[in-house]
Amino acid sequence: MTQSQTLPFFSRLSIAIGSFFALLADAGLAARVQALRNGAPLASEMPPPAPVQAPPAVRATASADAALQLLALLQRESRFVDFLEEDIAAYSDAEVGGAARLLHGGARKVLKETFDLEAVRPEAEGSRLTLPAGFDAAAVRVTGNVVGQPPFTGTLQHKGWRVTAVRLPALTEKHDTRVIAPAEVEL
């Protein structure tokens, strides 16, 4: 397995965005990348170039429209915002449980229609496993008495989730994503 195959998607996305801006800002870097893409030898095969000041790291920002769109879908299918904005202290556990059942069904529908998910770890929860040196710390969180360096042996408490596909509906040009649920007026 090559190094590029072990990098998670969001790490590769961060590198791509940072590289994009670095290439725009540094014509020399852009020329070297172009030469590599045209088959020039790798830097390790050439004399070392003059030091180049690295651009600051660029972090991708989340799309507010996509987040608001997802919130609107959850509101439409499960009244998610209504449920969370309601003060449930006065309701019985049975009433809250009934509302949670409705919320669960609608939210689950949105999840299934919008995302394809897979487990980060294929093992069953409760299984013993060993994390080798170099494991993906973004995909696996080590908890408990963490001492020393990997390999770590422990019990899988949660298999984790990874999104493999996203299907958000297309937005019209004048759609105001900030309105996650329109007001309703009955006539």
pLDDT single digits (tens) 35-83 = 777 777 665 565 555 555 666 666 666 678 888 999 999 999 999 999 9
Average pLDDT, the chain: 82
Containing structural domain, residue 81: 63-119+162-182
Phi-psi region of 60 (alpha: psi -120 to 50; beta: other; left: phi over 0): beta
Asked whether residue 52 is domain-assigned, the answer is no
User: Which amino acid is it at 117?
Assistant: L
Instruction: Compute the distance between CA of residue 20 and CA of residue 60 in angstroms, rounded to an integer.
Output: 12
pLDDT at 23: 64
For residues 144 and 125, membership in a common domain is answered with yes
Instruction: Compute the distance between CA of residue 99 and CA of residue 175 in angstroms, rounded to an integer.
Output: 30
For residues 80 and 167, membership in a common domain is answered with yes
Q: How confident is the model at residue 1 (pLDDT cuts 50, 70, 90)?
A: very low
For residues 23 and 110, membership in a common domain is answered with no
Asked whether residue 170 is domain-assigned, the answer is yes
154 forms bridges with which residues in the sheet? 129
Q: Which residue, 139, 134, 160, 152, is CA-closest to 11?
A: 139
